[in-house]
Structure 1
């Protein structure tokens, strides 16, 4: 397993710190999404798809300024440099019941020690609970201990918990699997996850019986909407909406998996879902207007994807909401091989966000989304 990368700076658009540093609310209002497990047939299919699916794209890699491109992750963190120690991203439950990535720093140590720390952060009322931002909590049942983490054949993380792992709310079963899978597969060399409890391999989850006969990968999706229409021959895409902190004054980003018709342009389909916006009742915010049109998505040289949009609301604007632009970058990166992204808006090459970043130039998704130094 390769060493975990240290952050060079924090994205001004994707920073979630203690105290929270982001400012501003959604310009487009707030809607919500009721999250529920997918139908049984879809569930089985998503749990069995190969880890090569586009959902399993690994960590986001920032572009260094030495390469001639500007990364949002290059912006200096307010208040100074990042906290010392190993930094990684874990998936925590927010105040709306959704899983969101939060970046944490842990004491320096071996890679497997960092992995144990990252899973310990997922424990409700656990060792890191007091360090989490308001409105966030771990999804694993209180009392859960991570006995061991090892990397086995085919880069599968083998995790063993104590028996307290079994004491979860049955309705949280899928969410627990999503949090564990997305946390661990965010590491560069981990492709899947296998679970053990007190020396015994789990072939299914103990309460709802979710099958665990093969390693879990990101193909299972995350935060699936309850009312997403079930389609035959469909594929999954993951898009990033914004959400607000409990006081309503700070933004962070939440991934949501949607079903789209198979065989089409994956990135255009994902952007269309971003434009469609969140569904009912879970605190997610519109990041694009319903009048936004995706004119084209073009993959160019050096791995740069150019997204051309039209939106009359911003015709003549010199500063575009960073939530809109960051959500586009995160969504495109998630549904490609972590591509660089440049945005054209209303035919203009200069697309400056309210964070003073020019998204008309190639940028990358931040390596650490929603950053939280301990």
Structure 2
């Protein structure tokens, strides 16, 4: 459950406060992510600041995984509709493609309370059955990312769908939700009563690294979602998925995490450190860990301690930040990012 509304600002680049690396620095405050607006003279934009907003679209990568990408779209009163219309054009690029069949028409997205009704027509039914779950997830996560709706219904040619039209995937009467999962791997599905937990692994294409959400099913009795999230990250992704975990093998928490006012304090064993025995923590660990805890446990910021190490530094030589916060947009380069 991400805590931040993803799109409502114009020609924007995000900086992080209360975190010296890799997302920015403010030595006096530990605040939530800030949205900072730049004029056109300061940052290149495909349209004027009055015409463009940033939105997080869920698209498909070369591994056939659903991936968030922050892109500038035309500003509109109906942001959800504008985002899906942009997705329907197929003009994604950078090694990604739209999940929507060519010729899909987005007629409307109507918000009713916390429910979004997505009305489609055209060639929406022209997809392979194996793409069905990805299409449903991409629509759901894109629409709910704006923070107005937490569940999604689909109407095709004016008729409410109870199942997806090709493979027959059921759509709950209450609508599709993020809790239904994304990029779910069967090898980690558990029997019995379960609940979802989404973690972030890394992938790479010719354009560089990016992060991919993967939903796992854990026991419904699990109370400590922070520890559960770290454990799933440590397990790593499914073999052959094209994904990697930034956590070193054997990484685990040595004591129960504490959470106070949205800040989680994590005490790791020294397996989280880079090889060679030095007390160095890879900066690549920070972002996917922060994203995972924000999505799955509602954590606003985190502090990292390593068991038995009093002076842990990043591989750059900088001190590990006292407070680390997830970025507003998952796969958008920031001018202050070290990646």
Fold equivalence (TM over 0.5): yes
Q: How many angstroms apart in 1 are the aligned matches of 2:137 and 2:161? A: 16
Q: Which has the higher contact order (CA 8 A, sep 6+)?
A: 1
Deviation at 1:107, TM superposition (A): 2.3
1:3-42 alignment to 2 at 5 Å?
Answer: 4-6=7-9, 9-10=13-14
Matches of residues 67-86 of structure 1 in structure 2 within 5 Å?
68-69=29-30, 81=43, 83=45, 84=49, 85-86=52-53
CA distance in 2 between counterparts of 1:10 and 1:166 reads 37
Q: Is the 8 A contact 2:227 2:256 kept in 1?
A: yes
User: What displacement does 1:121 show?
Assistant: 3.2
Match of 1:87?
54
Structure 1 outlier segments of 4+, above 6 Å: 70-77
Preserved CA contact (<8 Å) 1:159 1:193? yes
The answer to whether the Cα contact below 8 Å between 2:143 and 2:149 also exists between their aligned partners in 1 is yes
Confirm or deny: 8 A CA contact 1:308 1:347 kept in the other structure: no
SS at match of 1:166: coil
More helix by share: 1
Residue 15 of structure 2 contacts residue 24 of structure 2 at CA under 8 Å; is this kept in 1?
no
Q: Distance between the aligned counterparts of 1:297 and 1:81, measured in 2? A: 44
Q: What is residue 52 of structure 1 aligned with on the other side?
A: none
Distance 2:316 2:69 in 1: 20
Partner of 1:344: 305
Whether the 8 Å CA contact 1:64–1:74 is kept in 2: the answer is no
Distance in 1 between residues matched to 2:57 and 2:226, nearest whole Å: 25
Q: 190-199 or 345-354, which moves further after superposition?
A: 345-354
Deviation at 1:236, TM superposition (A): 1.8
| Structure 2 residue 328 is matched with structure 1 residue 367 | yes
Distance 1:316 1:357 in 2: 14
- Give the corresponding residue for 1:146: 106
TM-score (norm 2): 0.81
Query: What is residue 63 of structure 2 aligned with on the other side?
Result: 96
Aligned residues: 311
Unaligned runs of 5+ in 1: 13-61
Deviation, structure 1 residue 353? 4.3
Indicate if the aligned counterparts of 2:104 and 2:120 stay in contact, CA closer than 8 A: yes
- What residue is the counterpart of 2:176 in the other structure? 216
Give me the CA root mean square deviation: 3.2
- 3-state secondary structure, aligned to 2:290: helix
**Counterpart mapping for 1:230-245 below 5 A:** 230-245=190-205
Q: Distance in 2 between matches of 1:199 and 1:231?
A: 37
Aligned pair 1:289/2:263, yes or no? no
Distance 2:304 2:37 in 1: 22
- Counterparts of 1:167 and 1:289, CA distance in 2: 42
Q: Within 5 A, what are the aligned runs for 1:137-286?
A: 137-152=97-112, 154-212=113-171, 213-245=173-205, 247=206, 250-264=208-222, 265-286=224-245
Deviation at 1:105, TM superposition (A): 1.3
Alpha-carbon distance between aligned partners in 2 of 1:81 and 1:349, rounded to the nearest angstrom: 41
TM-score scaled to structure 1, two decimals?
0.74
1:9–1:361 Cα change, 3 Å: farther
Higher strand share: 2
Q: In the alignment, is the contact (CA less than 8 A) between 2:195 and 2:220 conserved in 1?
A: yes
Aligned position for 2:83: 118
User: 1:94 deviation in Å?
Assistant: 0.5
Greater shift in the superposed pair: 224-233 or 65-74? 65-74
